[in-house]
Structure 1
């Protein structure tokens, strides 16, 4: 997506050679038109795979996952990062570290919203080390549902998350791949 690459160059902030801040278009502010276009891109890539639900992790992946679910005509389920007072006691749960937040959190999905009959598409905003993604994969596996693939808006190729998931046999589709953030420059991979 050339438009997405252009927006990343214009609005992304390279914090370090490991961290790219995308608050202006993904993580704090959301451009509805661009987000719907990203959803269309993912829907096109996975349309023939019989997706029954789109799943993401709270909160930055929700907008793009919603756009994808809308385009596919299926429900969106997001894994919560906090247990609420109304949460059921036997929720599917996995403890995961957050690369950008520097903390460990639980991600939880109610068994009510994911079942062995489901064919799941996982959508997320950025993959770096892949900890949240691996946690969500474990939850989906425990639910008995089939994970048919993952759509990632920005893949940081210089960190191990995406390749680790591919090595497990997961189909992973990225809209943009970043090869490097060294010297404060965003270098895209082909």
Structure 2
């Protein structure tokens, strides 16, 4: 997606080892008009699928999932990363490793919100090692639902997540795939 790549080139910064900072337009401060274009792009790419739910992980994935769901006119379900008194005790759970936080956590989704008749589209901001997406797929399988596909805004093509998921036959649509990056340089896959 040219608009996204242009925005990354102009505004993103590389911090430390493999971290791309896009917090001023994507995952801290949100550019709503930009998110609407992202949602429209995911809709255009998945509109032939009979999607009934969009699934993501809190927190950064929620805004993107909502922008996409507005075009599909379906509910958004987000996996919670931490225990909460307002979360049902009857949940689907999957343990994953978070690349950015360098920690393991248990993602949970209430069994009330995913069912066997659901056809689910996963939406997330980044794909690095693939753990979050794999955890969401695990939750979809636990519910007996079907996976429509995976929509990712930025994939780190130099990490293994995308390759491993594609080798499993999972359809991944990434709006921008970064092949290499360091301070002052970001290279995209065509």
**Larger CA deviation: 164-173 vs 118-127:** 164-173
CA-CA distance at 1:183 after TM superposition: 5.2
Task: Describe the SS at the equivalent of 1:100.
Answer: coil
Can you list the C-alpha shifts for 1:84-109, whole angstroms capped at 9, x where unaligned? Answer: 11322220111111100111111110
Q: Is the 2:79–2:109 Cα contact (8 Å) retained in structure 1?
A: yes
Whichever structure has more strand as a proportion of its residues is 2
Aligned equivalents of 1:154, 1:53: Cα separation in 2: 21
Taking the TM superposition and a 5 Å limit, the aligned residue runs for 1:151-190 are 151-182=151-182, 184-190=184-190
- Tell me if structure 1 keeps the 8 A contact 2:58–2:79: yes
Aligned partner of 2:54 in structure 1 is 54
Runs of 5+ unmatched residues, structure 1 = none
Question: Partners in 1 of 2:184 and 2:128 — Cα distance?
Answer: 17
Shift of 1:46: 0.7
Are the aligned partners of 2:65 and 2:124 in contact in 1 as well (CA < 8 Å)?
yes
> Would the aligned equivalents of 2:13 and 2:183 in 1 still touch at CA under 8 Å?
no
Residue 129 in 1 paired to residue 129 in 2?
yes
Q: TM-score, normalized by length of structure 1?
A: 0.96
Q: How does 1:50-89 map to 2 (within 5 A)?
A: 50-89=50-89
Q: 1:101-135 CA deviation, whole Å, 9 max, x = no partner?
A: 11111111001000000000000000000111111
Shift of residue 4, structure 1, vs aligned partner: 1.1
Per mean C-alpha deviation after superposition, the further-off stretch among 41-50 and 18-27 is 18-27
The equivalent residue for 1:96 is 96
Please report the TM-score for the alignment, with normalisation by the length of structure 2.
0.96
- Maintained 8 Å contact 2:181/2:187: yes
Query: Counterparts of 2:186 and 2:24 in 1: how far apart (Å)?
Result: 16
Report the counterpart of residue 142 of structure 1 in structure 2. 142
- Whole-angstrom distance in 1 between the partners of 2:32 and 2:64: 9
Partner of 1:33: 33
SS at 2:107's partner residue? strand
**1:19 is matched with which residue?**
19
Q: Is the 8 A contact 1:16 1:184 kept in 2?
A: no
User: Structure 1 residues 183 and 67, CA, compared in 2 at 3 Å: closer, same or farther?
Assistant: closer
Counterpart-to-counterpart distance in 2, 1:23 and 1:137: 26
